[in-house]
Amino acid sequence: MESDPAFAEILAAARAGEDWAVTLVYRDLHPGLARYLRANEPRAADDLESEVWLAVAQRLHGFEGDEDHLRGWVFSIARRRVADHRRTASRRRTDPMEPYRLDRVDPRDPESVVVDGLSGEEAAAFVVRTLPADQAEVVLLRVLGGLEVAEVAHILGKKPGTIRVLQHRGLRTLARRLTGKTVTR
């Protein structure tokens, strides 16, 4: 692709800090960049865009390349800002909880909470609807089928420890859904 001589002049002026040239570069790239950021992080798009333009302003003087390279450079900065935002958000994620109180924890075993709360067919349908397939299969075989861990492990071709973990996770999820409380042993 041939480089536009007019854009080369605009880019050179923008690299030199000319306001008119920076404005033209901004007007050219802003609509696509804004759409990209809104598609990826709608609630943080404006903040991310300001971070991108700040990074561009700080490094534009050292940029080498043509219009296509500039566009790629700006969007790669945007992509990194989105990734940084997601990493930060996942580290700062909080789930509001009520203060821990012993009187709110069901003293019964998660199995009994689940089994006592539902009838046979209703329980099986609830388990399949609520849990991932591997957890649902283990819970159905262990709790409703009454099979031992070793038997379930053999049937599913998994290790006994894996069966115990799947059962534990599944039962805790079911108990939480049925009682609305955290259930521990």
Instruction: Indicate yes or no: pTM above 0.75.
Output: no
123 with 155, same domain?
yes
Same domain, 12 and 70: yes
Based on the fold, state whether residues 86 and 10 are members of the same structural domain: yes
Asked whether residue 166 is assigned to any structural domain, the reply reads: yes
Lowest model confidence (mean pLDDT) among 47-56, 71-80, 89-98: 89-98
Based on the domain organization, do 9 and 84 belong to the same domain?
yes
Q: What CATH number is given to the structural domain containing 133?
A: 1.10.10.10
Q: What domain range is 158 assigned to? A: 102-179
Q: Which of 73, 69, 78 is nearest to 37 (CA)?
A: 78
- pLDDT above 70 covers what percent of the chain? 78
One domain for residues 82 and 106: no
For residue 131, is pLDDT > 50?
yes
Check if the beta carbon of residue 34 is closer than 8 Å to that of residue 45: yes
- Looking at 63, 92, 121, the residue that finishes a domain is 92
- Spatial CA neighbour of 111 closest among 83, 143, 80: 143
